[in-house]
Structure 1
């Protein structure tokens, strides 16, 4: 055996192995850096072609699950002898005289109905304007719990009807009473995620796409359990989105556990 040539061959193979190992190490470092860069990169909705409305701030806000039950309303004198659970959970009232609104715009609706809500409707000051249905001439007010509304809930709502003259002629009311926070360690208050993080949840689950417009973002309580008389409500981000085809989609993202399914 020519040891001189054999030694040269071993050295050459050794160098090749070291170069290969060095290359593999370099590739692993590069991949690690790419993953790190991707995770730390902030999502830019403008670059993604998604329009945003002004997002509410929830710094240091903590919330938890609450429960409540439907209130019963007396409609006539015969109802006074009924038990609470036997009463109707909705009251229907004509507005006399009708209330003329300057226009069907948010500020004019709030101003036009403010006094009536406070003085003529039981618990009326606990409701806030949440929606305008011009096609069916309806104005929706959501019941509040603390600082936040009970979202899209026909058991915690006032629905006003108006005519072609912008006159409010009647309303229907429902109300959740005895609202209380759940007990136990599993229901301790948790920090609410920022509105932008809720939007990112929608984006990464392909609910938000290029060309979409986020029209409104509200923090409140959304029903996850609805029984005949009682409900369980969890902290939720309500997000209304106008899609490319002009349709409106409303999504509900858990405000303290964003890994939960979107509703």
Structure 2
């Protein structure tokens, strides 16, 4: 055996191996550097680079608890008597009320509908307008607690109905009562952290606009008589094409809640 040639071959092989291993090391090092650089780049910088703007970003480091409440069972006395107006009322967990004389409105907008709720609906001031559907001639209100909205809970909402003359013909109402905090307050995901969750999931497009993230509640555990509510971020996004979307993120664990997919089902079950 020609040891000289063998030695030369080993030297060449090891040289190639060393070059290969060094190349792997350099590539791995560069990848790690890129990851570190990406991690150090704040979400704000990334949003700015894609022209994703945020209006009215709430304060940081909020703390709050889960909330529990009882499903209210309405009684005949649980309504506002308005002059000589008569009502057809169905009681129970949902109160369906029809006016004998429809109540005229000046127009169908937030202010006039909110004023109607305060004047004609028992506890109406504890609800917040969510949506106006001109085609169906109905407006959806969600109940509030501590000035925070309870999103899409069929046991905490009001649906107003009106006719072609812009007069309210009646409403359907559900309500949670005895609302109180459950357990200790938790440090929540901040609004910007909730937005970061959406960004990482690819739900925010370039040139999108985020309009005033709101902290509210969504259903965590729907029991027969009791509801447990979890702190939830509502992120409303307007895309450059003009389309809009509402996203909901659990403010305790940072999970996106598929509440939009349940919207029609929840409302139709009323």
Match of 1:92 in 2: 96
Tell me what 1:4 maps to.
none
Q: Residue 149 of structure 2 contacts residue 216 of structure 2 at CA under 8 Å; is this kept in 1?
A: yes
Matching residue of 2:55:
54
What pairs up with 1:164-243 in 2 under 5 angstroms?
Answer: 164-183=164-183, 188-210=184-206, 214=210, 217-241=213-237
Structure 1 or 2: more strand by fraction: 2
Structure 2: runs of 5+ lacking an equivalent: 1-12, 79-90, 260-270
8 Å contact 1:151–1:222 — kept in the other structure? yes
With over 3 angstroms needed to count, the CA separation of the structure-2 counterparts of 1:167 and 1:54, relative to structure 1, is farther
Q: Is the 8 A contact 1:223 1:234 kept in 2?
A: yes
Q: CA deviation at 1:181?
A: 2.0
Distance 1:60 1:72 in 2: 37
CA shift in 2, pair 1:176/1:261, >3 Å: closer
- CA drift at 1:153: 1.7
SS at match of 1:153: coil
Runs of 5+ unmatched residues, structure 1: 1-12, 78-86
Per-residue Cα deviation, 1:170-212 (whole angstroms, up to 9, x for no partner) = 12211101222223xxxx3122323232122122223334476
Separation (CA, whole Å) in 2 of partners of 1:193 and 1:252: 12
Q: TM-score, normalised by structure 2?
A: 0.70
Q: Which residue of 2 aligns with 1:67?
A: 68
Q: 1:206 to 1:155 in 2, by over 3 A?
A: same
How is 1:1-263 mapped onto 2 (pairs within 5 angstroms)?
A: 27-43=27-43, 44-45=46-47, 47-48=49-50, 52=53, 54-75=55-76, 88-95=92-99, 96=101, 98-101=103-106, 103-110=107-114, 112-113=115-116, 116-117=117-118, 119-183=119-183, 188-210=184-206, 214=210, 217-241=213-237, 249-259=245-255, 263=259
- Alignment CA distance shift 1:260-1:138 (3 Å): closer
* Number of equivalent positions: 244
Q: CA deviation at 1:232?
A: 1.5
Q: For the Cα contact (< 8 Å) 2:55–2:210, is it kept in 1?
A: no
Alignment TM-score, normalising by the size of structure 1: 0.72
Mapped to 2, the partners of 1:261 and 1:100 lie a distance apart of 36
Cα RMSD, aligned residues only: 3.9
Q: Give, in angstroms, the shift of residue 133 of structure 1.
A: 1.6
The 8 Å contact of residues 58 and 192 in structure 1, kept in 2 or not, is answered as no
